[in-house]
C-alpha cells in the first residue's frame, strides 16, 4: 500500500483525488489545500514556489510516498524545483494540449488556465513542441473562477455571464480545462460553448500516471478501504461543516460526470 499526497491551492485538486479514489479504492490519500494562500494564479512564481515547497515538505512528513501536484499553476511555477530537491516520485499537471491537438488537428481549441499558467514558459514550450498554431489554439486566462469555486459558488447565473464576456463569440471544437478548479464549471462552459463542445482536462492522464507508478512500486498488495485525510495549509480538516463542503464538491463532480457523459452517449 502506498500513501499518495495530493496538493492544490484549494479545492481544485479534489477533482483529481475524486477520480483517483474511484480508480484506486485501496490506496491511502492525503490532501493538502493551501487555503491560506489561494488563489495562486495571481501570485508571483516565487511565492508559489515557496508555498508549494512547504506543502510538499508537510506531505512528505505525513508519510507521502508519491506527491501529486494537482495544480497546473504550481506545476508551472515549481515542479522543476520539487523534482530537483525531493527524493520521491512527483506527478505534475499541465494543460492537456497534447491530447487536444492530437485528437482535433486543425480545429479551434480554447485553452483556459490561470494567468500564471497562461504566461508561464512551460505552457509556451508545450505549445511549441505540439506545433499548436496560434490561429487554432487560443489561450485564455480566467482569474475569477478559482475564487468562486472556493466559495462554493457554481450557479450558472453568476458564471455564464463572466464566461460569455471572456470567451466571446467563437466556434470552438474543444476546451482544455488547464486548471483543476475549472472542471467544476463544465455546465457553465457548456452553456457558452454549446452541447457539442469536447472537454479535455488532465484528470485521467494524471490518475493513469499515478497508477503506473504504483504498479512499478507495489505489485498487488493493497489494503481494503480508501482512507483520506484532508489538510488546510497544514491543519487537519475535521470540522463536520468543512467535510460536508468537500462532500458537496464530490456530489457536484458526480452530477457533472453523469450529465456530460450522457450528452456524449446521446451524440453517438
Ligand atoms: N487549481 C489550480 C490549477 O490547476 C489553480 C489555482 C489557483 O489559482 O489557486 O492551476
Cell 475564487 sits at which residue? 147
Residue 267 banded pLDDT, cuts 50, 70, 90: very low
pLDDT tens digits, 155-165: 999 999 999 99
Residue 72, ligand 1, Cβ within 6 A: yes
Per the prediction, the chain carries an average pLDDT of: 94
User: Which atom from ligand 1 is nearest to the alpha carbon of 180?
Assistant: 4
Residues, the chain: 268
pLDDT tens digits, 163-172: 999 999 889 9
Cα 219 to ligand 1 centre (Å): 33
Sign of CA dihedral 185, 20, 250, 33: negative
User: Which atom from ligand 1 is nearest to the alpha carbon of 181?
Assistant: 1
pLDDT tens digits, 43-72: 999 999 999 999 999 999 999 999 999 999
Residue 180, ligand 1, Cβ within 6 A: yes
Q: Is the pLDDT of residue 250 over 50?
A: yes
Q: What is the DSSP pairing of strand 66-69 with strand 3-8?
A: parallel
Least confident window among 27-41, 82-96, 144-158, 224-238: 224-238
Residue 12, ligand 1, Cβ within 6 A: yes
Cα 244 to ligand 1 centre (Å): 22
Q: Is the pLDDT of residue 184 over 80?
A: yes
Query: So what's the pLDDT on residue 218?
Result: 56
Contact 171, 107 (CB under 8 A): no
Residue 79's CB is within 10 A of a number of other CB atoms, namely 21
Q: Is the pLDDT of residue 74 over 80?
A: yes
d(CA 193, CA 151): 24
Residue 41, ligand 1, Cβ within 6 A: yes
User: Which atom from ligand 1 is nearest to the alpha carbon of 179?
Assistant: 4
Amino acid at each position: 500500500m502506498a500513501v499518495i499526497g495530493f496538493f492544490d491551492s484549494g479545492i481544485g485538486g479534489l477533482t483529481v483525488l475524486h477520480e483517483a479514489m474511484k480508480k484506486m479504492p485501496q490506496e491511502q490519500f492525503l490532501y493538502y489545500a493551501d487555503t491560506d494562500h489561494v488563489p495562486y494564479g495571481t501570485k508571483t512564481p516565487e511565492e508559489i514556489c515557496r508555498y508549494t515547497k512547504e506543502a510538499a515538505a508537510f506531505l512528505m512528513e505525513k508519510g507521502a510516498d508519491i506527491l501529486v501536484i494537482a495544480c497546473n499553476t504550481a506545476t508551472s511555477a515549481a515542479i522543476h524545483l520539487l523534482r530537483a530537491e525531493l527524493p520521491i516520485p512527483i506527478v505534475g499537471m499541465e494543460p492537456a494540449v497534447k491530447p487536444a491537438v492530437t485528437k482535433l488537428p486543425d480545429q479551434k481549441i480554447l485553452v483556459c488556465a490561470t494567468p500564471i499558467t497562461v504566461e508561464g514558459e512551460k505552457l509556451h514550450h508545450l505549445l511549441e513542441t505540439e506545433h499548436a498554431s496560434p490561429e487554432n489554439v487560443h489561450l485564455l486566462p480566467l482569474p475569477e473562477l478559482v475564487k468562486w469555486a472556493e466559495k462554493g459558488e457554481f450557479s450558472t447565473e453568476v458564471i455564464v455571464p463572466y464566461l460569455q464576456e471572456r470567451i466571446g463569440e467563437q466556434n470552438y471544437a474543444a476546451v482544455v480545462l488547464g486548471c483543476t478548479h475549472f472542471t467544476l464549471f463544465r455546465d457553465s462552459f457548456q452553456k457558452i460553448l454549446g452541447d457539442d463542445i469536447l472537454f479535455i482536462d488532465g484528470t485521467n492522464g494524471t490518475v493513469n500516471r499515478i497508477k503506473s507508478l504504483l504498479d512499478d512500486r507495489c505489485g498487488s498488495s493493497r489494503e481494503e478501504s480508501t482512507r483520506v485525510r484532508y489538510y488546510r495549509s497544514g491543519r487537519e480538516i475535521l470540522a463536520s461543516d468543512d467535510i460536508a463542503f468537500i462532500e458537496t464538491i464530490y456530489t457536484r463532480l458526480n452530477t457533472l460526470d453523469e450529465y456530460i457523459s450522457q450528452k456524449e452517449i446521446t451524440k453517438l
